[in-house]
Amino acid sequence: MTTDVDLFDGCEALDEILALIFDLAGPEGLKELLTMVELDRAPLNAAANGLKAAGLVEAAMIVAGTAARAADPRASDRCHLEQSHPR
Does some domain include residue 5? no
DSSP category for residue 78: H
The reported pTM is 0.79
Q: Read off the amino acid at residue 61.
A: M
Does some domain include residue 67? yes
Q: Residue 25 is inside which H or E element, if any?
A: helix 14-36
What's the number of domains the chain is made of? 1
Does some domain include residue 8? no
Does some domain include residue 21? yes
Per-residue pLDDT of 32-84, as tens digits, reads: 999 999 999 999 999 999 999 999 999 999 999 999 998 887 765 555 445 55
C-beta of residue 56 within 8 angstroms of C-beta of residue 19? yes
